[in-house]
Chain A
């Protein structure tokens, strides 16, 4: 069974990107159908707003369509690059909203929870993707709470070191150190679990 980001997908992604370069819209739709659900999960986690999350995901795929050469193979395999672009897009959007003075804590959190309850993942579970997901979650659980929370605030919350320090009341040096130590520990855990960190 194929899966989102499964090892066997690499060549297929490259073929689809080549077709996109030739102006074949079916190819971008295939990529969209394959990866948009995972990209949407990430965007929704960061933005807390289904409409904004959909827009962010579609902006990224539109970029793939308009500028397929913007994918840099040196940055990793296509899904890895795609997710990093979605992440950056969402963090940029989040920061703009923060600068406009919107309160993140009060933003539609209940609406988001309701949305998540209504939109369960598709029935067909993709085995490889699920294994990877479970492994990363387990590795995160093994991190000390103070490291995991800071990493989640950073990656999913888009907060800078300074903002996290202010938000948590911890010294800036401690924040930097804990995030670094947390990532290093996560890397070791994943290595020990014999999971490739690149997808």
Chain B
């Protein structure tokens, strides 16, 4: 069996901090460590430096679809979660109806202030208003109906509540693509957690075999499905949690189309009826 002097063991401290000792060296060193104050002090000084090396790298985006694969692994692990919406996108999600709110006011302000284009300044200003009305709506909804909704709806609302509390909230206003439409929608996203929800109102009624599909479009101009949801009843506002296939900040545009009820897996088959530039 290998034996080492103190000096030889102390020469292993840096290697231990870097995690590169072979099994025998590691075993000897770990047996020596508890009884040697010098080596413990040495290690305490070098471990932090070794750990710092990890932080010299630029963070990198994971391959596309990684989050869904992670969710699949969690599901496969068999550990029960409190959240039941761990499904791979695209998926038909349950929209969360909210009490009616006055989107018309927001539209009037928007028309009066800057015409039909987008400015980041307006979004910043409108974010405060969005926070107020959506917060009121969500908490009103949660308070009144918390015990009678499906868990997926609660999950959507929880996601929205988390977004509203986030300092990294980004708001994107979607604009109807033709003037005859009155539907309104906003994308609320947290770039840090990659959570996103779509809040919409006044969506048109759809036949039973149709659904709305949300698309995110990045620099490559290829729409990626982020959610499919059926029309809610009574034209109330809805909250739909999105599953961005990639980091939300890589997308430039969000759009909604009408598709067959199970959604399109090959990209949009109709023109979007509303869309917005993600700032």
Contacts and interface: CB of A to CB of B under 8 A. Distances in A.
A116 interface: yes
Given A25-B86, A38-B55, A87 B62 contact: no
Contacts of A40: 59-62
Contacts of B249: 122-124
A93 interface: no
A180 B45 CA distance: 11
Interface in A145-199: 151, 154-156, 158-162, 173, 176-177, 179-180, 182-184, 186-187, 190, 197-199
Interface in A109-162: 116, 119-124, 129, 132-133, 136-137, 140, 151, 154-156, 158-162
Nearest to B15: A161
Contacts of B74: 25, 28, 62, 65
Interface residues of A, number: 75
Interface in A79-95: 80, 83-84, 86-88, 91
A76 B249 CA distance: 31
Contacts of A25: 74, 81-83, 86
B24 to A, nearest CB: 10
Interface of B: 11-15, 17-22, 25, 45-46, 48-63, 66-67, 69-70, 73-74, 77, 79-83, 86, 158-159, 162, 167-168, 191-195, 247, 249-250
Interface of A: 2, 4-5, 22-26, 28-30, 32-34, 36-38, 40-42, 44-45, 50-51, 54, 57-58, 61-62, 65-66, 76, 80, 83-84, 86-88, 91, 116, 119-124, 129, 132-133, 136-137, 140, 151, 154-156, 158-162, 173, 176-177, 179-180, 182-184, 186-187, 190, 197-199
